[in-house]
Structure 1
Amino acid sequence: MEIINHIETDSQEDTSMDNLSRPGIPKPDELVPSRYSLQIGDIDVMVVSDGVLTLPGAMLGHNADPAARSAWLDHNFLPTETLDWGLNVVVVRSGGRTILLDAGLGSDPNLNLPRAGQLAHRLAAAGIDLASVTDVVLTHMHMDHIGMLLVDGVKEQLRPDLRIHVAAAEVKFWTAPDFSHVSMPPGFPDALRRAAKRFAEEYGGHLQTFEEECTVAPGVVVTRTGGHTPGHSVIRLASGSDRLMFAGDAVFAVGFEHPDWFNGFEHDPEEAARVRVRLLRELSATGELLVATHLPFPSIGHVAIDGDAFRWVPIFWDY
């Protein structure tokens, strides 16, 4: 597998220490990497960071013993009260199509999430015109996966023939969503309902629903897994001998060592745990690459078996 284009920041300015230290010299808006590109055979892939979500640490495993959860966070040099979750989106080019895998957070004035919702300007910084996007594939309809599509002015930039692929079970779920098994911070259930309702109203004519699986472009296949939400799906890329899975919210950082811990956003946490174990076993057996929404950017790595659990093996960055 050839890894190309490496890491890039949003800024096009000179970021040398000399320039940064001089008074009166404008500083770049961001000095963090926001995109990472690689090849999966003939398929072009770019992971784009939409920023980070700062959420309570307890949401990593609300069914776990608090002492065990704190110990895991401490072992990983992470704070125990709040945690920054990565928010990754993937752009794929295959067979003449430009495909957005999920669409980031956008913005909700009722929630305080100032460090996320960066996708629109980061796509522009990467040279990706919204008008060039032919397809959007949604792993599910939580607001941090559909939100950019709801930002003012975005829809007007999209193609009139844009296709949005989502599992039929996901669309049905959000007509009357069940939040009885989640453990979310206050305000999130209402925000999720609002976003899903508005999305269905504004983009209903663009939806291409499927029952269990569909092929979006050569080597780009989306498959419903359920669990996190009833219509949650993963996207598999395959070209030549190369493979990559975009797992959406099926896998979180703690899920390798503790796949049985319930994430606070899972609507069916027991099924989500079963899905997580199945996917991690598959990935460890095949050796294919994994990208997931909430793993630390750029979220590209392999899965290994580690005793009775799993181990995340990040790729070595190609500079």
Structure 2
Amino acid sequence: MTQVDFARPDAAGIDEPVPSRYALKVGDIDVLVISDGVLPIPPATLATNAPAAELKAWLGDMYLPLESINWPLNVAVVRSGGRTVLVDSGLGTEFPGFPRAGQLAARLDAAGIDPASVTDVVLTHLHMDHIGGLLVEGLRGRLRTDLRVHLAAAEAEFWAAPDFSRTDMPAPVPDVLRRTASRFLDVYRGQLWPFEKEYEVAPGVVIRRTGGHTPGHSIIRLESGGDRLTFAGDAVFQCGFDKPDWHNGFDHEPEESARIRVRLLTEMAATGEQLVATHLPFPSVCHVADAGSGTFRFVPVVWDY
């Protein structure tokens, strides 16, 4: 199980005109953010409780189209203390309507990362765009048999009988989410390491349940040598900085999601730590600034070449 330098993989990789991975360090912890691609969603999904005119104005200010927007999908590979941790797994390839997503397997290969070197998987939650990659035969069959899959116990319990009554998703999505989560739990049940509130997966790598987006939604906090980074999963979306009270259509507990988002962004603005989130523009590595009046500012880091 060769350990490959994230910044200088041994594999020749794929010559891509647009980069799909970004390496950084958090103290002694190595982090590689990988783009799983993008998937189209209706803009209204970003703000189900906002007036249409306010959403339209925000989309215009961000130079985003009104009909359909591309939602980035970011995952991460983290190395600490001899363990290699995959954080979420993207969409997978079983959804033909999203041909530009589900790139994880190919991009692990391009980065020179052998799936058999992954010791742990950490899941923020069980929506299909976070677990689908682990169901792809081209990746699943290459994982080690003693792989540990960490998720909140509340998340596994929720998907036994999921409640979509407070979500606002396109019509076919709830059934697809339900089927995908059920299949995932059937496939990986024997490898699950559920936790209640938080669990240290590797030195300085802690998964912590927040709830909100789903009852067991979790974030991953990295801390080493005085440096900190949080992988926030779906706790923060692109509009969540200046419009933190907007409800996302995929939120199972919309009001709680907004409260969690404000608490998290307030904390990060105070500490100055780095943030990565699933649906922020790749590579999504940023700082959070307090913009006053309960709003925040996305401050992207300068790429370190």
TM-score after normalising by structure 1: 0.91
Which deviations, in whole Å up to 9, do the C-alpha atoms of 1:232-268 show, x marking residues without a partner? 0000000011000000000001000011000011011
Partner of 2:164: 179
Partner of 2:3: none
Moved beyond 4 Å, runs of 4+: 10-13
Residue 7 of structure 2 corresponds to residue 5 of structure 1:
yes
Q: 2:292 aligns with which of 289, 298, 307?
A: 307
Partner of 2:220: 235
Residue 23 of structure 2 corresponds to residue 37 of structure 1:
yes
Residue 78 of structure 2 corresponds to residue 72 of structure 1:
no
8 Å Cα contact 2:13/2:111 also seen in 1: no
Distance, in Å, in 2 between the alignment partners of 1:186 and 1:295 is 24
Name the larger-Rg structure: 1
Distance, in Å, in 2 between the alignment partners of 1:100 and 1:244 is 15
Partner of 1:154: 139
Q: What 5-or-longer segments of structure 1 have no aligned partner?
A: 14-29
Distance, in Å, in 2 between the alignment partners of 1:92 and 1:206 is 19
Q: Aligned ranges for residues 261-272 of structure 1 at < 5 Å?
A: 261-272=246-257
Residue 49 of structure 2 corresponds to residue 63 of structure 1:
yes
TM-score after normalising by structure 2: 0.95
Partner of 1:26: none
Distance, in Å, in 1 between the alignment partners of 2:108 and 2:99 is 18
Residue 295 of structure 1 aligns to which amino acid in structure 2? L
Please report how far the alpha carbon of residue 108 of structure 1 lies from its aligned counterpart in structure 2 after TM superposition: 2.9
Please report how far the alpha carbon of residue 103 of structure 1 lies from its aligned counterpart in structure 2 after TM superposition: 0.8
Q: What 5-or-longer segments of structure 2 have no aligned partner?
A: 1-5
Partner of 1:207: 192
Please report how far the alpha carbon of residue 186 of structure 1 lies from its aligned counterpart in structure 2 after TM superposition: 2.4
Distance, in Å, in 2 between the alignment partners of 1:107 and 1:261 is 30
8 Å Cα contact 1:36/1:298 also seen in 2: yes
Residue 147 of structure 1 aligns to which amino acid in structure 2? G
Q: Aligned ranges for residues 1-319 of structure 1 at < 5 Å?
A: 5=7, 12-13=14-15, 30-109=16-95, 112-308=97-293, 309-319=295-305
8 Å Cα contact 1:167/1:233 also seen in 2: yes
Q: Percent identity?
A: 64
Please report how far the alpha carbon of residue 12 of structure 1 lies from its aligned counterpart in structure 2 after TM superposition: 4.2
Distance, in Å, in 2 between the alignment partners of 1:12 and 1:135 is 26
Please report how far the alpha carbon of residue 11 of structure 1 lies from its aligned counterpart in structure 2 after TM superposition: 5.6
Superposition CA RMSD, Å = 1.3
Distance, in Å, in 2 between the alignment partners of 1:292 and 1:123 is 19
8 Å Cα contact 2:151/2:192 also seen in 1: yes
Question: Matched residue of 2:267: which SS?
Answer: helix
Per mean C-alpha deviation after superposition, the further-off stretch among 144-153 and 162-171 is 144-153
